[in-house]
Amino acid sequence: MARPLSRRALLQAAAVATATPAIYRTTSGRAAAVAAVTAAAAGIPSAWTVRPFALEDVSLGPGVFADKRRLMLDLARGYDVDRLLQVFRANAGLGTGGAVAPGGWEGLDGEANGNLRGHYTGHFLTMLAQAYRGTGEQVFADRIGTMVGALTEVRAALRRAPEVLTVAGRFGTAADQVRGSYQYVDVPAAVLGDASAVTLSVWVRPTHDADWARVFEFGDDTHRYLYLAARNQAGVPRFAITTSGAGGEQGLDGTAPLPLNRWSHLAVTIAGGTGTLYVDGTAVARNTAMSLTPAALGTPKHNWLGRSNYSADPVFSGACQEFNVFSRALTAAEITELQTRRAADASTGRGDLASYAFDETTGGSFADASGRDLNATLRRTWGAPSHPGFLAAYPETQFIDLESRTTSDYTKVWAPYYTAHKILRGLLDAYSATADDRALDLASGMCDWMYSRLSKLPKATLQRMWGIFSSGEFGGIVEAICDLHALTGKAEHLALAKLFDLDRLIDACAANTDILDGLHANQHIPIFTGHVRLYDETGEERYLTAAKNFWDMVVPHRMYGIGGTSTQEFWKARGVIAGTIGATTAETCCAYNMLKLSRTLFFHEQDPKYMEYYERALYNQVLGSKQDRPDSEKPLVTYFIGLTPGHVRDYTPKQGTTCCEGTGMESATKYQESVYFTSSDGSALYVNLYSPSTLTWAERGVTVTQSTGFPREQGSTLTFGGGRASFTLRLRVPAWATAGFRVAVNGRAVSGTPRPGSYFDVSRTWRAGDTVRIVMPFRTRVEEALDDPSLQTLFHGPVNLVARDSATEYLKVGLYRDAGLSGDLRHSLTPVPGKPLHFTLGGAEWAPFFEGTQDPTHAYFRRSEPKVVFGGLDSGIANPAKTGGTTLLDEIWAGAPFPHKGALVARVRSTVDAWVEAGLLGRADGVKVVSTAGAASYRP
């Protein structure tokens, strides 16, 4: 059983997925035992053979990461968090203080009626927590406290019956219905009293222009009813009565829309076959053939103010006052009199069938002043939460609907457990940063509530739910639940995590069977990070095996050069890259989650490929997804990054509140999280990324400051501070560092041969003042699309270079003309003075992908080498190609690097001979090619 962590231990380990596994699985021996105890105290799974440092242990130095983070920190400091909380408060029936919810996916008027609202708040909490831990600025902790306090109030309000909100009324105060509260007033069944003549009179102040929101409706179902809608499909008030459904309605339609945020008086009279609709004392509609009266309805089952019998109709949003029902038709003069005084003070007196002033009571009940004691009650359309731990920005109905849903319809159910995950993760991060017990209590309550729902469902139901696209998406909830279990130790929480198992996916990946074609990418990537954490908690190997195999199915088989994956949010067949490039490739959330999965897998197995991918995606897609300009309202982060020719990045998609803006806020406040790791026993320090930063390694009593302009600088310097400590420094040798990787300690070269795509070890007792200088010259190279070798992307070291050009066709680019003996293509590029990592080539400027501009860019180009040219010397021979697209020059230069010119010429001769023998090149042309190679001059 996992034990709860202390606040101090939690704060030390807050940078990581906190977990204390139930099973001890480290190697034997005293050192391992000490390491296990230390790891448990810090909340580190004992299965991890390396562990990260907390965000507060690593500070960023000046550079591209600090520049990008600064822009996001400004948003974190300045954004009005009451706007984020608006949807939560509204759902709970609390006052919102006039705050306006963010647009897009967070607002009720956004996509799918805001069925994902609340997710952005979770992301924002995580961003604040990371910002606080990374900078120590109190403003971030204060904002966390405000949000956690508000969410605590929200949950408490959801637990109790709704209570009326009062606002200034036409006379005194009125009852207010906040949009998104899903509240209405339930009136006793006898309210209409079988009247054959009636007047219904009410003051309303609508705050939203939704069609068909009912001021009142009395009826049984969608067959027998009468109603008054503030707006019909034409935008004007409508009264109707029917005993035969919508087709049999006898109605009265207004002539003009009711103004928003202003009081209007509405009255309907029925008597003697005539119905009249009054707006502000003026008769705007009359029907002399209205044969139906309330008596025709009998005693309706549903007697509602603000709610419709049609489930798709919105509830009324706005204020209501002075609802009176009279058993006669008031005269026009009497209705005019009601414009200036209360009914109680007018000649009419209060309604004799029902009369609610809405300013005479508080709480959730409304006194009837008619003398009939028909007191009304404020209710929620969805009743009450099924468990007191429920916390969301929308009703529980989405969760309930999912349990019987068999097909996806995001306008009805849009990933409720995904949204729950974001909120849960935000609360856990808030707790890790501030040790606010309220945040942990809210998180624990959410999982108690989820367990109470899901544990009752048959396994077949769960499997069906999690397999539904979009509606069944649950994001990284398993990881978050495992992290919570490490804190609470509750068996129910671990059991809950396993209820999200999608066996079809786990079993296929565990068997290394690739079934990803056609799957929604970001629905599934974070599932596997959760599987790794379940392995940590349970020791079940299939979880870890499935996650490792899954990673290999994505990288490189479904990976674009920048590290991103997916097209239109989905995966296509394995190995299809060129065939999937479009304007909606590389969803940013996918890169975020692939980084998280890569990092978590590295904790178990230090295969350099995980950090190779991490560097690629971080330095290219993730950095490039953030626009390089300030904004106080939007995070300015891409959703998709189109890789089509001339694509211009959209940094405010869907009004700026999508999942990718959320993960983008998180990414920009944790850039330092994977720069350094330590072995579990503290015997080694991993330097995974070359980034200006300072590590404070308290356990070993040392600091390590990394000074570099990387990636604009081709190297880095580590300077040690603090006391003496013996450990191995493990320096990552990037796979692209084929031009050399040199290490010097205190100015003296370290012996050994660093191998690209590995770690290079330097072991010693480190002292204050020691320096380690690393030099890793960049080479310029191309990467070919797996399914089309002629479609390529250009790299300079780790940096993806894109051409800035407005053309919408692939640029044709040649690179072999000036290639050096090393095979480095840099000689084909001309550096732009004063602009590091900027070059000109083929008439276009090439710049780092990570620069967040809105220039049209070409991430991929069409490789075009029409002639065989060596060292700038043209042979005059056309460059032949094989059926698959590989050219003669491709095969020649595949042998690089060449130690000297003779080796290159020998490669040319042997390749030409093979092509001549295969009938791909004429013998005379072959001789010309070889002689040109021998006559040319080459740079290194």
Q: Map out the domains of the chain as residue ranges.
A: 1-46, 165-380, 865-940
Q: How far apart are CA 242 and CA 337, in angstroms?
A: 30
Buried b (16+ CB within 10 A) or exposed e, 903-933: ebbebbbebbeebbeeebbeeebbebbbebb
Nearest to 819, CA basis, from 757, 901, 755: 901
Assign 49 to helix, strand or coil.
Answer: coil
**Residue 516, both tokens:** 């990803």
Nearest to 660, CA basis, from 700, 611, 628, 624: 624
Nearest to 440, CA basis, from 166, 744, 840, 125: 125
CB 323 within 8 A of CB 202: yes
**What pLDDT does residue 809 have?**
97
Nearest to 183, CA basis, from 286, 284, 279, 94: 94
DSSP H/E element including 284: strand 282-287
CA atoms within 13 A on the CB side of 744: 10
DSSP H/E element including 861: strand 861-863
Residues 6+ apart with CB under 8 A from 924: none
Assign 891 to helix, strand or coil.
Answer: helix
| Block mean pLDDT (10 aa), the chain, length 940 | 38 39 31 42 81 97 98 97 98 95 91 94 98 98 98 97 94 94 96 95 97 97 97 97 97 97 98 98 97 95 97 96 97 97 97 92 88 96 96 97 96 97 98 97 98 98 97 98 96 98 97 98 98 97 98 98 98 97 97 98 98 98 98 96 97 92 98 98 98 97 98 98 97 97 98 97 98 97 95 98 98 95 94 97 96 98 96 96 92 95 97 97 97 95
**What pLDDT does residue 361 have?**
63
CB 184 within 8 A of CB 305: yes
The number of helices, as runs of H, and strands, as runs of E, in the chain is 23, 39
Q: How far apart are CA 358 and CA 354, in angstroms?
A: 12
CATH number belonging to domain 165-380: 2.60.120.200
684-687 vs 725-733, strand pairing mode:
parallel
CB 763 within 8 A of CB 752: no
Displacement of CA 87 from its chain's centroid (Å): 18
Write the single-letter amino acid at 895: G
**What pLDDT does residue 39 have?**
45
**Residue 178, both tokens:** 């906040």
CB 89 within 8 A of CB 120: no
Nearest to 452, CA basis, from 389, 498, 384, 401: 389
CB 255 within 8 A of CB 284: yes
867-870 vs 684-687, strand pairing mode:
unpaired
Round the CA-based radius of gyration of the chain to a whole number and report it: 34
Q: How far apart are CA 777 and CA 754, in angstroms?
A: 13
CA atoms within 13 A on the CB side of 258: 32
